[in-house]
Structure 1
Amino acid sequence: MAMNKRGDSDIACVLLAKRAVIKGFLSSRLGNAADAEDVLQDLWLKIDRLEIGPVDDPLSYLFRMAQNAAYDRRRSAERRSNREQQWVETQSSKAGTEYIDDSPDVLKQMVSRERLAEVEQVLNALPERTSYIFRAFRVEGRAQRDIAAELEISVSAVEKHLRKAYRAIIDFRKGVDSDDG
């Protein structure tokens, strides 16, 4: 692949130089600038990733790549639209209605909120450090080693606090399950 002083390929340089023209080409094929910008970004990534040998006419090559990418994007959008339409038709034929509401009913939402409040109470009853570690790990999604480093404790200690929190929640759930019969 021919490289310039910065190490960019000829095709990448042409893409940068003719970006506006190629974007206009894609916009006319796709119908909007947002999709054209997405495809242009995909082209840039593809060029950066692929080992493309010397090309006699880099601009023509780019237009062909853009044409193919636009075609693929339109075809994917049509397939997605057809799938969604088929799903809606299947669901409405099953239910006998045009629209299916997948949201839980009001009673289930109320019960879920009550259970969440009860779990919050269980967590608040735990020692402060245990509650903090549980929330950092399970709610915030932080890594155990990061929590351990922040609190200046071992990862093993973090795991012990988590087991303690899990045990409290399991005990709570056993009580709830036995109450529900």
Structure 2
Amino acid sequence: MTAEPSPAAGLEAAFLENREKLLRFLRARGAGDAAEDLVQEVWLKITASRPGPVASPLSYLFRTADLLMIDRFRSARQSGARDRDWTEINAGDPPGVSAEPSPERRMAAAQEAANVLALLDGLGPRVATIFRRHRIEGAQQKVIAADLGVSLSTVEADLRVAYRALSEWKERSQ
């Protein structure tokens, strides 16, 4: 008397023989890099469950792979929707808190900016002009030198004077 193979052994054998076909099938259906993971899930599913006799093991494997891929797609879509909804709900300012600075902070910032401008003006009109043109307007040092009729090294020296004064002012302010 010959023992008939168990249904699981039949499915496992079909899986092992057709693993590459399952991979190609899943990639063709859009699984991409997840195809390997899905094939592994198919293996785990058929080894863990004990279905009754399967008339067409290959069709059963393809259907199992397809359903697992659909489940993964739905899960990813729902996760994305959850993340998007959470972001929309929690985006922006917390309730009762404004992104706008308070009037006190605005006043302090304006006063600090006025102090910096006064410091720059105190360094002389050429140093202040060179600093503003280079750092605020974004002009190149060569262009500033040509416009003011001074050498490039003069522009660089004046910028060093401004940077040093600002650095010292920052240290005193802290």
Give the TM-score of the pair, scaled to structure 1.
0.46
Given the two structures, how large is their TM-score scaled by the length of structure 2?
Answer: 0.48
Q: Which has the larger radius of gyration?
A: 2
